Amino acid sequence: MDFIINILSTPAILVGFISLFGLLLQKKPAEDVVKGTVKTIVGFLVLTAGSSFLQTGSLNDFGTIFNYAFNMQGVVPNNEAIVSLGLKEFAQDTAYIMCLGMIANIVLARFSRLNYIFLTGHHTLYMACMIAVILNVGNLSGPLLWIGGGLMLGLIMVISPALCQPTMEKITGTSELGFGHFGGSGYWFSAQIGKLFKGKSKSTEEVNFPQRISFLRDTTVAIGLTMVIFFIIVTFVAVVVRDGMSDPTIAAFFQGETNTHWLVWAITKGFSFSGGVYIILSGVRLIIGEIVPAFRGIAEKLVPNAKPAIDCPVIFPYAPNAVLIGFLTSFVGGILGLFILGAINKALIPVALILPGVIPHFFCGASAGVFANAEGGLKGCLAGSFLHGLLITFLPAICMPVMGSLNFANCTFSDADFSILGIILGNITKFIKDGGLFGVCIVLFLLPIIFNIVAPKKQVQ
Amino acid sequence: MVHSIMCCCGSGLGSSMLVRMNVEKALKKLGASGISVSHSSLSDAAEGAADLFVVGKDLANFVKELPRVIILDNIMDKAELETKLKAEIEKE
């Protein structure tokens, strides 16, 4: 018995089991079952290794030196980084929530009108982790946490695509594809802004826009370059402006067998961050590479007419200019947002400084740009993605205080849905805890199903 | 001969995996066996990593140095994928 409990509480083996069940349910040949299970387990261990490399290699130092330079908490919005921290404490809970969340997604797709199957597996994993952290603040643990969390995960897996669907259909020209990316509420927001410019402007695709900046689509390059820039600015302020060499903690960074110049140190640390994320991504790829196809296969059998909700790059080819304009304006919004947060921190209340992460601004900003362009052309795209950039800077700052044990981390979740669900659930946990909180999860989950049964269906014209 | 196919996207997690699943289905339909299909990030798209690379139109720039690529106008269009895949496999 001890042995079984031990297995089920060892996260790597637990995710291996989830994958094993998925493969068996699909009646895969034995060698595929073995291969898939092993890859999932190894993936989890790779993720853990990436996590510790990221922390010791650069994340912890970044926090220390940022704090010294600016006397504030500087936060890098990066999903991989924060999830790798969250998994340290909540790996087992995350695995169960992810598994139950996918089942809850199938139930909702079958019995409510939100018939989407959310296929962006890495976001499912990240969201499961965030829900585990936040519901745990509300005293849920063990099976109650897993079931309550799974239901919440299943719910957001259909609500997010549903929010995006009206504009998604305008972009792709078909109603068969859903949009599955946990920045959904941000894209919805951006599309609404775009609507204000309806018919007042030509499409982004009718103007000439240089495509060269698209090399930032390569995640490793994009993270590496931005983190080097962040590290150089912060280290410069700490060492040159604030005389960090006189502080033993800061000076220790540059002393080894030989002394490292602070600039060289900053460049190495910046690229180390990217290296850490690269390892984590490889691990995540191995984990979800087996689980998502199984999930899709099972879902297709149980809910054959559900719409697959697919990761954001699916819309990029429809509007390549909007992708780049969206990224740039969202990024500008992020920089402005950073200064606004700095001012708020100085004048009003202490808030975390959310740095403009190039990955959220690229993938989310680009998607926001495509959504806003579909509704309101070039002007809509500019306004929508700029405001989206501000939105994904302020939302994480508002969400930080409810993040429980991850409150003081130097990184956080970046995309809009993570922050919105975090803020909603986090604030609920302030008032309702324990069994009541579990009840809230069940009621929220049942609402769309009850609505489907009670409310009259629209007549199809 | 094509022995390995790699599907790529920005971070190598979401859309490339769906394309990989579609490629696997298409290969089955075409009756081609013994071809391994993987998915990864653009950082991993290098000569030698696979015999054939599959990316969406928006990423065409990243693979222009690679010897054999399939560029998809619509990454979720199974018919387009099947036609282009068939043409590549039957090349020799």
pLDDT tens readout for residues A346-401: 898 888 899 998 889 999 999 999 999 999 999 999 999 999 999 999 999 999 98
Which long-range contacts does A36-40 make (Cβ < 8 Å, 24+ apart)? Answer: A36/A290, A37/A290, A39/A286, A39/A289, A39/A290, A40/A15, A40/A16, A40/A286, A40/A287, A40/A289, A40/A290, A40/A291
User: How many beta carbons lie within 10 A of that of residue A339, not counting itself?
Assistant: 11
Residue A432 amino acid letter: I
The pair of three-digit structure tokens given for residue B25, joined into one six-digit string = 């289905």
pLDDT at A459: 59
Residue of A311, A324, A361, A415 for testing the chain B interface, max B β-carbons within 10 Å: A311
Confidence of residue A150 (pLDDT cuts 50, 70, 90): very high
What is the share, in percent, of chain A residues with pLDDT greater than 70? 99
pLDDT tens readout for residues B9-43: 988 888 899 999 999 999 999 998 889 999 999 98
Size of interface A-B (CB pairs under 8 A): 93
- Domain enclosing residue A82, as ranges: 2-403+410-452
B57 contacts in A (CB within 8 Å)? 317, 320
Q: Is residue A338 part of a domain?
A: yes
**Touching check for A281 and chain B: CB below 8 Å?**
yes
Q: Is residue A459 part of a domain?
A: no
Q: Is residue A461 part of a domain?
A: no
**Touching check for A307 and chain B: CB below 8 Å?**
no
Query: What ipTM did this prediction achieve?
Result: 0.88
Q: Which residues contact A132 (CB under 8 A, 6 or more apart)?
A: A86, A90, A93, A94, A97, A145, A149
In this structure, are strands A307-310 and A353-354 parallel, antiparallel, or unpaired?
Answer: unpaired
pLDDT at A460: 53
The answer to whether A219 contacts B17, with C-beta atoms less than 8 Å apart, is no
pLDDT tens readout for residues A40-89: 999 999 999 999 999 888 899 999 999 899 888 899 999 999 999 999 99
B12 contacts in A (CB within 8 Å)? 219, 281, 285
- Measured CA to CA, the distance from residue A23 to residue A293 in angstroms comes to 9
What's the gap in Å between the CA of A191 and the closest CA on chain B?
A: 22
pLDDT tens readout for residues A261-302: 999 999 999 999 999 999 999 999 999 998 999 999 999 999
**Touching check for A322 and chain B: CB below 8 Å?**
no
The answer to whether A278 contacts B73, with C-beta atoms less than 8 Å apart, is no
Of B11, B59, B76, the CB nearest to A314: B76
Q: Is residue A162 part of a domain?
A: yes
Q: Is residue A429 part of a domain?
A: yes
Q: Is residue A460 part of a domain?
A: no
pLDDT tens readout for residues A152-178: 999 999 999 999 999 999 999 888 899
What's the gap in Å between the CA of B58 and the closest CA on chain A?
A: 5
**Among residues A171, A51, A152, A184, which one has the least CA distance to residue A438?**
A152
The three-state secondary structure class of A9 is coil
Residue A458 has pLDDT above 90, yes or no: no
Contact A18, A291 (CB under 8 A): yes
Residue A257 has pLDDT above 80, yes or no: no
Residue A160 amino acid letter: S
Residue of A26, A182, A218 for testing the chain B interface, max B β-carbons within 10 Å: A218
pLDDT tens readout for residues A186-239: 999 999 999 999 988 889 888 888 878 778 888 899 999 999 999 999 999 999
pLDDT at A259: 85
Contact A127, A182 (CB under 8 A): yes
- Measured CA to CA, the distance from residue A380 to residue A372 in angstroms comes to 5
Q: Is residue A147 part of a domain?
A: yes
Q: Which tops the pLDDT comparison, A396 or A248?
A: A396
CA A182 to each of CA A41, A296, A311, A414, B48: distance values in angstroms, whole numbers, following the listed order: 25, 18, 9, 9, 34
Average pLDDT over residues A16-43: 92
**Touching check for A218 and chain B: CB below 8 Å?**
yes
pTM of the model: 0.91
The answer to whether B13 contacts A311, with C-beta atoms less than 8 Å apart, is yes
Residue A448 has pLDDT above 90, yes or no: yes
Average pLDDT over residues A311-322: 89
pLDDT tens readout for residues A91-141: 999 999 999 999 999 999 999 999 999 999 999 999 999 999 999 999 999
Spell out the domains of chain B, with CATH numbers in brackets: 4-89 (3.40.50.2300)
Handedness of CA A107, A113, A119, A124 (dihedral sign): negative
Of A214, A281, A320, the CB nearest to B13: A281
Domain count, chain A: 1
Contact A410, A85 (CB under 8 A): no
